[in-house]
Structure 1
Amino acid sequence: MEELTRAEWSARAAAHRERLAPYVEPHLARRHARVRHPVHDFLFTYYSQRPAQLLQWHPGYGVRLLEAPEYGGLKGYADGAVTRAHLVAQQTLVRTLHRLLAATAARPAHFGCFGLHEWAMVHRADETRHPVPLRLGAAGTDEVVEGHRIACSHFDAFRFFTPSARPLNTLQPGRDDRPDFEQPACLHAGMDLYKHAFRLSPLLPSDLVADAFELAWDIRILDMRAAPYDMTGWTLDPTGEPWTPVPIETAEGKREYAEMQRQFAERSTPIRQMLIEECDRLLRVATPTKSLDHP
């Protein structure tokens, strides 16, 4: 087992917190002020990992932290390292995620959905999912949904479709058949890499979780820029860059969306592959090698 001195691991933990603080601290300030942001709060409200958990650094299974009493009370730890008992207890989760990630990686990428899942979530609805007006109004939004081919492959997006929009989807993904549908260009599949990574904490190194988080953060921005909401007055990022919509109801907007979707698919690929490799490693080290004398 690799060992890290207190100086070594504390420096890595501090760098991890410094990397993610620009995302976490504004969210905590908004939460304290009871102010919501429909884009930047998403990863902290839709997903179950708390901000404090995101900021907590873990070295991953197979590394022992020396002089680390701070880790003594954390789930899965003993004597500065994640225990084998915790690894064994998580085998069902590791296998499930490995199957989903490998199936998604093996499927061809499709770039023709144009983010219409967000539009289908407000089709013929009496109210929107966010306290933001619709850019084209209710009738205009419904017209876009009804005038396009809807092909959402991601169950956790499809399940929020309105009753009138669900039959319009050419696919019918279910809760238990995700590996049969998810494809690597899907924005929500890309965002969910963050969920898969943190669900495997503390077995995974936190650098990988942070990579997945930053990818999900950027994807969510496109998700809402291409959504039917009028985001006038909101800003794209902490620099104050003005928000600009991606009008997927136009040919130009479709081209812009597909190009950005392609870029995110390229960013997602190595993160998904690293998660697959980590799952492979965890499954391998958790299974005792059978003796030749005792098959």
Structure 2
Amino acid sequence: METLGVRSPSPVLDASVLTPAEWRSRRDEHRRAVDALIGPYLDARRRGARHPVIDFLFTYYSSRPAHVLRWHPGYGAILEGADEFLGLRGYEQAEGGVRVAEAYLRHRTDALAAAVDMLETTARRPARLGCFGLHEWAMVYRADDTRHDVPLRLGPAGTDAVVESMPLRCTHFDAFRFFTDPARPRNDTTLTRASQIQHEQPGCLHATMDLYRYCFTLAPLVPSDLTLDCFALALRARDLDMRASPYDLRDLGYEPVRIETPAGRAEYVREQSAIAEVGMRLRSRLLTICTELMDLATVCGGRRLPSAVTDE
């Protein structure tokens, strides 16, 4: 076992000391990237506008725009002249600047372990690409009301007919739990929270969107460049999720993926496969970081690097 205080710099975590000019440049570049991605949406949101597609990434995940906008260097870095970070959760004053506290890392050990278990298990499985996004259809199957104030593209009867024409192959509990009562028995597997880890797989759009959730709930341990990459992919997955849904979103500029047709199903699988491929790379990157953080949190109660390369 390594002795406290003599550990080599992590090959994954950034253990650098950033000058005020360096970290402010990174922070400002991050904010510009967020603005390029969702700037008009955030402006409309501040005016009280609602959006049936993008809102999901903030309302369902109990996230806030600040989780995407706020820049964090991640665990290990020291920020010189960064007293403004001391009011944020997880930071502390240290020799040479401000950093994410070792005590906070240890406090998040259980969350890191849960993330590693789910990410690692999911990464080992092959992607399943035969669901065709029917989970959104199953959420309104034989229902009097829809989940969004948006018309159904095929109407209630046409929507029900699509659900009845194909098998439901949902593998994600947090989608399955919103199925209507008549739709649940039609799924090829009965999903539960307790069995979630047994069914999660990397082809699922919602499993990919969950990468963003892991990033922002583990902040400020996880660097914000990864959080933004996962958010951008979650936005892309949500876009496909709703274009393939039964809702008619053409007035908002979303052309439907008509999964009720062979051509539409083929289009869905192509886009789903491309998203899953990027998701697997991001999942691997996030898993590596979370594993390293968990190791630091559990071995010797957290370990420090000397002077400029401390892991705290």
**Per the shorter chain, which TM-score range?**
over 0.9
Partner residue of 1:94?
112
1:220 is paired with a residue whose SS is helix
- CA distance in 2 between counterparts of 1:57 and 1:33 reads 24
Of 204, 216, 224, 1:186 maps to 204
Contact 2:109 2:298 in 1 (8 A): no
Deviations 1:60-116 (A, max 9, x none): 111110110110111110011001100000000000010000110111111100000
Aligned residue pairs, count: 283
Of 205, 215, 220, 1:202 maps to 220
Query: Which TM-score applies when normalising by structure 2?
Result: 0.88
2:17 is paired with a residue whose SS is strand
In the TM superposition, residue 175 of structure 1 has moved relative to its aligned partner by 1.4
Contact 1:27 1:41 in 2 (8 A): no
- CA distance in 2 between counterparts of 1:116 and 1:128 reads 15
Superposition pairs of residues 54-203 of structure 1, within 5 angstroms: 54-79=68-93, 80-203=98-221
Tell me which amino acid in the other structure corresponds to 1:270: R
Bigger RCO of structures 1 and 2 (CA < 8 A, at least 6 apart): 2
Partner residue of 2:24?
10
1:81 is paired with a residue whose SS is strand
The answer on 1:258 being equivalent to 2:269 is yes
1:287 is paired with a residue whose SS is helix
Q: Please, which moves more after superposition, 23-32 or 176-185?
A: 23-32
The answer on 1:278 being equivalent to 2:289 is yes
2:135 is paired with a residue whose SS is helix
The answer on 1:222 being equivalent to 2:279 is no
In the TM superposition, residue 190 of structure 1 has moved relative to its aligned partner by 0.7
Q: Report sequence identity in percent.
A: 51
Stretches of structure 2 that go unaligned for 5 or more consecutive residues are: 1-14, 302-312
Cα root mean square deviation, aligned:
1.4
| Structure 1 ranges of 4+ moved more than 4 A | none
Tell me which amino acid in the other structure corresponds to 1:38: P
In the TM superposition, residue 124 of structure 1 has moved relative to its aligned partner by 0.6
In the TM superposition, residue 24 of structure 1 has moved relative to its aligned partner by 4.6
In the TM superposition, residue 289 of structure 1 has moved relative to its aligned partner by 4.5
- CA distance in 2 between counterparts of 1:28 and 1:288 reads 42
